[in-house]
Amino acid sequence: MNEFSKITFDQVPEALSFLIGEVNKLNLLLSNPQPQAQTTPPSEHIRIKECSQITGRAEATIRTLAHFKKIPYYKDGKFLAFNRSEILNWLQSGRPTIAAQAAENYIYNSK
């Protein structure tokens, strides 16, 4: 390819032949796509930023929910960590019932 960086008039037919060959290779690749390697699923362990994106809530809200144990989370040293499938299940479960909230408040306040 470097041989065509400065083409003289005499080299035009050879350069054109080379380019046509390259275009034909590209057309062949595009018409017969190779199977793609399977992509790995997204990591199950996520940080607060991705949790915020999944839930559509602000990072501060996620921290508050974790503080009051309203969202499933883990501690990774001093950082909050979440499990993607647990967060998705938590979102699907919807709002807890009033009885569940009262029981949770009772347990939390009796510590």
Say if CB 79 and CB 50 are below 8 A apart. Answer: no
The verdict on residue 9 lying in a domain is no
Q: Let me know if residue 8 belongs to a domain.
A: no
Does residue 52 fall inside a structural domain? yes
Q: How far apart are CA 12 and CA 60, in angstroms?
A: 64
Task: Give the C-alpha separation, 99 to 59, whole Å.
Answer: 27
Q: Is residue 3 part of a domain?
A: no
Report field, pTM of the whole predicted structure over 0.85: no
Does some domain include residue 5?
no
Q: Please report whether residue 104 resides in a domain.
A: yes
Supply the range of the domain harboring residue 60.
45-109
103 residue type, one letter = A
pLDDT at 28: 81
On the CB side of 69, CA atoms within 13 Å amount to 7
How many separate domains does the chain show? 1
pLDDT digits (tens, 9 = 90+) for 30-46: 777 766 655 545 568 89
Here the tokens at position 81 are 């960590």
